Structure 1
Amino acid sequence: MLTYAAAVLFLIITPGPGVLSAAGVGSAFGFRQALRYLIGLFIGSNIVGAAVISGLAAVILANPAIRTILMVASLAYLVYLAAKIAFAGAKIAFVESKRGPGVGAGVLLQVINPKAYAVNTALFSGFSFAPDNYTFEVVIKLLVMYVIWLPIHLGWAYAGASLHKLNLSHVAQRRINYAMAGAMLTVVVLAVIATFKTV
């Protein structure tokens, strides 16, 4: 079980769409908005977990067309979130962002996020420690995941919100928003490269 906990830690703590967007929302819109977004990420993560545990995800993702649609939707949504963060407070009509992403945005990101399915599949199909009692094993794995997932995501959101609370100059805050958005776009580029390498 310690191996499983270490795998959860390293798979979740590494910058991916969830933690980077949580930091970005915190930086651009503050901790309260980031908390709403995190609730959505948590709900979405549980939806993905349930799909993986039940085997529904394996059936659906066996179809290459559905995998491609999810990947394209995920990448497009990450670009949209990056623009929303980058232009927080801007008066540019097509991305004007007075209100940050909330619960629905977090749920949507996780449900269309291929990394969420890959991570959950790796964690729930491997690291068996109670092969005679699958229900017990799943419950313990979920509890361990929650204990690690919550502080990591709260930490990233708080780190972003701490920058927001500094009351930096408009230019400095804009640069931070651009940096957060740039980090998210880097994830998009890496995902595209990884996709083409596996094709």
Structure 2
Amino acid sequence: MISFIGAVFLLIITPGPGVLSTAGVGAAFGFRAGFAYVLGLFIGTNLVALAVVTGVAAVVLASPVIRSVLFVLSTGYLLYMAAKIALAGTKTAFEPAARCPNVWDGIALQAVNPKAYVVNTTLFSGFVIFQDALLTEMIFKFVAVNAIWIPIHLGWLWVGGALKRMELPKATQRLINVAMAVALVLVVVLAAAAQFL
């Protein structure tokens, strides 16, 4: 059980699209505005976990065509989120990001987030905690994962929001937003490299 809890913590806290976009949304739009986005991520990650547990994800991802389509969609969506974060509050964009990502944006991100599928598959199939009590184990895992997921993501949102509250000069805030967006793009590049190597 301790190894499961440790794995949950390490897999969730490491930078991925959800964590990076949470910090980026906090930095670009503030804690309060970003809370709806984190709620969407929460709903989305639990939907992904349900898809993994029920086997729906395995059936869908067994098709190379569907995997390729989902990869293109996830790459496009993550780049869109990166642009939204990078361009928040700027006048240099063709269409400045005036609206903070909302609940639906969070759900959509998790639906196409490759890390969400990998993490949930690892956690829900890689650790046996209650031998011969599958339902008890699934309930325990959902509770444990969410008990760790929630404070980690709210913490990252708070860090981003703290940067926003510092009322840094606009150029510095823009630099932070761009740095967050670049980190998200790097995750996309790493995922693309893993897909084709």
Under TM normalisation by the shorter chain, which class is it? over 0.9
Q: TM-score, normalised by structure 1?
A: 0.96
Q: Distance in 2 between matches of 1:124 and 1:76?
A: 28
- Partners of 2:158 and 2:80 in 1: how far apart? 22
- How far residue 6 of structure 1 moved from its aligned partner, in angstroms, is 0.8
For 1:148, the equivalent position in structure 2 comes to 148
Equivalents in 2 of 1:113, 1:63: separation in Å?
Answer: 17
Partner deviation per Cα, 1:59-107 (whole Å, 9 max, x = no partner): 1111111111111111111111111111111234643111111101000
Q: Match of 1:106?
A: 106
Supply the AA of the counterpart residue of 1:67.
Answer: R
Aligned-pair identity in percent equals: 54
Q: Provide the rounded CA distance (Å) in 2 between the counterparts of 1:150 and 1:6.
A: 15
Alignment-derived partner of residue 76 in structure 1: 76
After the TM superposition, which residues 43-192 of structure 1 pair with which residues of structure 2 at under 5 Å, given as runs?
Answer: 43-92=43-92, 94-192=94-192
| Structure 1 residue 38 corresponds to structure 2 residue 38 | yes
Residues 22 and 157 of structure 2 are in contact (CA less than 8 Å); yes or no, is this contact kept in structure 1?
A: yes
Task: Check conservation: 2:85, 2:180, Cα contact below 8 A.
Answer: yes
Shift of 1:32: 1.1
Q: State whether residues 83 and 181 of structure 1, in contact with CA within 8 Å, keep that contact through their aligned partners in structure 2.
A: yes
State the distance in 1 between where 2:85 and 2:10 align: 26
> Aligned equivalents of 1:151 and 1:190: distance in 2?
26
Instruction: Look up the equivalent residue of 2:177 and give its one-letter code.
Output: N
Q: Which residue of 2 aligns with 1:26?
A: 26
Change (3 A) 1:93 1:186: closer
Aligned residues: 197
Q: Is the 8 A contact 2:40 2:103 kept in 1?
A: yes
Separation in 2, partners of 1:126, 1:90: 44
SS of corresponding position for 1:95: coil
Tell me the distance in 1 between the aligned counterparts of 2:3 and 2:26. 31
CA RMSD of aligned residues (A): 1.0
Distance 1:153 1:111 in 2: 17
**TM-score (norm: length of structure 2):** 0.97
How far apart, CA to CA, are the structure 2 residues paired with 1:93 and 1:111?
27
Deviation string 1:139-188 (CA, Å, 9 cap, x unpaired) is 00111101110111011111011000001111111111111111101101
Q: Distance in 2 between matches of 1:57 and 1:75?
A: 18
4+ long deviations beyond 4 Å: none
Once residues 140 and 28 of structure 2 are traced to their aligned partners in structure 1, the CA distance between those partners, rounded to angstroms, is 36
Partner of 1:12: 12
Q: Which amino acid aligns with 1:175?
A: L
Indicate if the aligned counterparts of 1:9 and 1:148 stay in contact, CA closer than 8 A: yes
Match of 1:174, as an amino acid?
A: R
